Amino acid sequence: MQVSAYLKLSVAVAVATIALKTGAYWLTDSVGLLSDALESLVNLAGAMFALAMVTLAQAPPDDDHPYGHHKAEYFSSGFEGVLIFAAALGIIWAAVHRFTDPQPLEQLGLGVALSIASSAMNGALAFAMMRKAREHRSAALEGDARHLYTDVWTSAGVIVGLVAVHFTGWLWLDPVLAIGVALNILREGYALVKDAAYGLMDQSVEGEVRQQIEDVLAPFRRPAVRFDHVATRRAGHRRYVDMHMHVPGHWSLAQAAQARGAVEQALIAAVPGLRATIQLLPIGVEAQGVDDLPE
């Protein structure tokens, strides 16, 4: 199943969970379950925006975007983080209002059952989406999966709290739970926005990918061949590496190009989706800027 297919499934599941959680809130009048329903509404908006950004990211390079559109996925992750902040503020407002006007909870058994059913759907989808996100290095899919995991944990907290309200009669626990949900999703929203910002600033590749690059270069290193100025960056699921490859000055252009081609093929085979740019230089000569060129 492709990344876009998972996001379409996420939209469908979000619609179903909104219906279940709204029904749970309507039956119980629990502000904790209301907060859970609001978070599912954010899931729906986030999944729809993520689907749009993934579709854009898959567009081929054009004159205005010669390196492709892969960074569009980071906008999805950041947008979902902003939505989470907005949902958290709404939850806190509702919880504070309930503190001043506590209400008895009704039909907790059926309401909790609906909440458990929606959480099971979200948990199964989040697990599958996270595996796919890591396989394809999709920031949009990972952001949506992480949000779903947050939804599952917050739902679990709300359910435990509502059971406690039922057995203790402490109505103040309900708004306290809602505020706890809000604080938890604020933390997740911050993480999503931070990751999106780092991605848009050309962050270097992950540590394990950098080690893979070093492992590939090691067999090619010898007294007559060396590599330096190795720089990496990531854009969506794409990974890029630029470097200088120093070869003996007496090598022919064809011989040097053949050696560079072998290095490029080895890098691409080891790191799927990698784009390598290798500048050839004779041993003992460093790259020069325009100001350093002889007149």
Are 103 and 24 found together in one domain? yes
Q: Is 218 found in the same domain as 186?
A: no
| Claim to verify: residue 64 and residue 139 sit in the same structural domain | yes
- Quick check: pTM over 0.85? no
Domain boundary among 153, 185, 200: 200
Taking a C-beta distance cutoff of 8 angstroms, is the pair 88, 189 a contact? yes
Which residue blocks in 101-136 are alpha helix, DSSP H? 108-136
Structure tokens at 221: 């290193």
In this structure, the answer to whether residues 195 and 256 fall within a common structural domain is no
Domain that holds residue 220: 207-292
Strand 274-282 to 238-247 pairing: parallel
Smallest CA-to-CA distance from 286 within 203, 237, 208, 228 is with 228
CATH code, domain carrying 276:
3.30.70.1350
Residue keyed to tokens 């800027």: 289
Residues 123 and 175 in one domain: yes
What are the angstrom distances between the C-alpha of 249 and each of 48, 163, 217, 225, 246?
55, 77, 20, 11, 9
* CA–CA distance, 95 with 117 (Å, rounded to integer): 24
Cα dihedral sign for 26, 30, 35, 39?
Answer: negative
Q: Are residues 105 and 70 in the same domain?
A: yes
Residues 217 and 192 in one domain: no
Residues 134, 17 share a domain: yes
- Going residue by residue through the chain, which has 295 residues, state the pLDDT in tens, using 9 for 90 and above: 566 777 777 788 888 888 888 888 788 877 777 777 777 777 777 777 777 777 777 777 777 777 666 667 667 667 767 777 777 777 777 777 777 766 677 777 788 888 888 888 888 888 888 888 777 767 667 777 877 787 787 777 777 777 777 777 777 777 777 777 778 778 777 777 777 777 666 678 888 889 999 999 999 998 889 998 899 987 766 788 999 999 998 899 999 999 999 999 999 899 877 889 999 998 866 655 434 544 4
d(CA 265, CA 90): 52
- In the chain, how many domains are there? 2
> Last residue of a domain, which of 171, 200, 229?
200
Residues 10 and 138 in one domain: yes
Task: Tell the residue number behind the tokens 């906008």, with chain if given.
Answer: 75
139 and 38, same domain (yes or no): yes
Assign residue 20 the CATH number of its domain.
Answer: 1.20.1510.10
**What whole-number distance in Å separates Cα of residue 50 and Cα of residue 8?**
10
Beta bridge mates, 242:
231, 277
